[in-house]
Amino acid sequence: MAGDGCFLMYPQELATAVEYGASLIVLVVNNGMYGTIRMHQEREYPGRVSGTRLQGPDFVALAKAFGANGEKVEHAREFPLHSPALRLGAGWR
C-alpha cells in the first residue's frame, strides 16, 4: 500500500516485478498529493505549503504500460474477494 505521491517516486519497480514474475498486489491510495512532504511543510512552515499537490496519472494505464494488470477501485465495497488480482495471487502476468 502506498500513497499516489509515494508510488510515483518509484513506478518503474513494476517493470522489475513483471520481469521477475513477482507475486504481489500493490494498492495505491490516491489522495492527490505528496503526503509526507506536505506533512513536513505544514509542520515546519505553517501556511506555506508548496508543490505537493498532484495531478496523478491513470494508474491502471501505468500498470498496463509496464506489463502488469491494474484495476481502479474507488470504494471498499468495489473491491470484491473475487477480484482477478486476488484470484490469481497477484496476477502480474
Residue 92's pLDDT band, with cuts at 50, 70 and 90, is very low
Class of domain 2-87: alpha beta
Nine-digit cell at 87?
484470484
Threshold 0.85, pTM exceeds: no
Backbone phi, psi, residue 3, to 5°: -75, 165
- Judged against a pLDDT cut of 60, whether residue 72 lies above it is answered with yes
Q: For the chain, which residues make up each domain, given as ranges?
A: 2-87
Pick the closest to residue 38 from 50, 54, 28, 30 (CA basis).
50
Q: What's the pLDDT tens digit per position in 11-68?
A: 999 999 999 998 888 888 888 888 899 999 999 999 999 999 988 899 999 999 999 9
